[in-house]
Structure 1
């Protein structure tokens, strides 16, 4: 027992140890590489909170967070950074602010939109992508975009006490390679419903909890650190799935192979130049300095929605992922005709159509082919 009137004096010895000293005792650790790294985190829910927490604690210096959702009351039980006063605010905005508050070495940025709206040209600026998504649509898009931009991405998923982590590399299988016929059927239905403006009914929210998200995000962050410091002999989940069955605390690996039928495998091509998005499709040739004989190609679904024949509406053209709820006439509810394009020639009628910026990603890659040669360009529509 101590006497409160005569407190014991304890002397503390000053230390010169830095913030990351204990981490730097790991022989292969490279704190300077982590501080200079640029990581894209897609998803700011239960997994995203834990991913960002871990990466910020170890001093990953630049984190960009993408999520379109707002904070709901139920998020407070599963997301370490969210508080009651944050409800109805954007997840990505709060997560970015709280991560910087926790570690002032970390610079953060955020976007409050689906990752598809930012485009494949956007993700090419990052050293690594770590995702905590909750839908196939975004995963399929991200997998294809990462492959054609030569980026590694680490995907995590949770359900109840189960979870999995897999690392996708440019020369291996993509997320779409892991999907079966039922997965593709569900994805196609979801995309069609959104284009027509009909919200697909979901069978309930996926059950999740804080402990599972903490474990899965911890594995993701641990693998991310290895990539960021270049510890190649420690890469553990390339072309594999690491699964955890929390009920029995069992873990196991399974191998993922490249699907020969997968439509999302592209050869990596260096981007030659960038240009601002012009006002018409036909002006893209001039912006890229291309001959009219070159063929313009798109990596993501590019569609023409014809104007309503009953109401005389104008036709619209753009990227399918950004034209949700545009496939139905708003005046008479008539389903509109839709034509899919993967390639356009300068002489095609659609090349004269106006570009509507909101139907184009922030930064998107396009490809011109001429005389058997392919050239890639980055089109930017300005700041978001």
Structure 2
């Protein structure tokens, strides 16, 4: 009866125990059928990075599909010695745990964390079914922010650069640089970890081979980006939406440039960099930005942006508008991948028209507007430093 009452009242969405159970249960349910059917191609690609590193075989031969840096070979190494079925399941669950841990590090209430975990669980299940690493990328970005605001620059730099040397995405963690109270120490740790991660693969392979692998990695990424625009399974992004849905023939680079300018415009509120509400808004914006402006964005990539959408929602003063936006984003991003929508509908409508991206795109523009208008000052304080009143903000503007 208590469970039924909790569901009816909506309290279950803030129940942390339920959130934990749902998160890991759906992750396991997502990966298990793929393992049983032998559909774990991504996992085999991951294993090949380590094996090719040892044998000094080209990490980026065309049919290999590898887009990960040489450092990834060290990370995946322990899993290569396990039976494939066990290794794939453990890899998926490790990625799920990593993002779960990162969400729980966020400086928001326990009930807000529970909401983020519960509502993001379907996306996590989707990522697990692909045996993908996007959850880990999201975790690294979030932890980069969390450790900066905790004053632990060495940890922040570690996670930002870990993600960068594995899959490039982590570089957006530099967006949090201005939140550091000790920027020079942060820069020093960025240099130290860059050197460590750059040379670490040389412990397993010849230095000249690793140097060539970095060149091959860069060329592979550039080549893939050039081809992404033609694939219905890639470029599920704002540039893709403009091209496929609105039929606007705009150069992708111009769209990305405009996006970068809008992203940088958030920093006009530099007087409030110590306010965790602004910091969290920029964290949300960063998580979404890296997905909706990437030509490599595909279905499992959206775990990164959707966690940002959920975090944005829990920070809001609830209204009919914010509720509608959140529900629409959930339906278009997560439910659209379930059996509530037929495969035919997904194939002829959702995928060709980049509908999965719409919710994240809308929320990102809302965040930009809210920062411009200093709306973040009207939401409940997150920490003791968030004390600037709307009146004072008006006087400072």
What TM-score do the two structures reach when normalised by structure 2? 0.28
Name whichever structure is richer in strand by fraction. 1
Larger radius of gyration: 1
Name whichever structure is richer in helix by fraction. 2
Higher RCO structure, 1 or 2 (CA under 8 Å, sep 6+): 2
What TM-score do the two structures reach when normalised by structure 1? 0.29
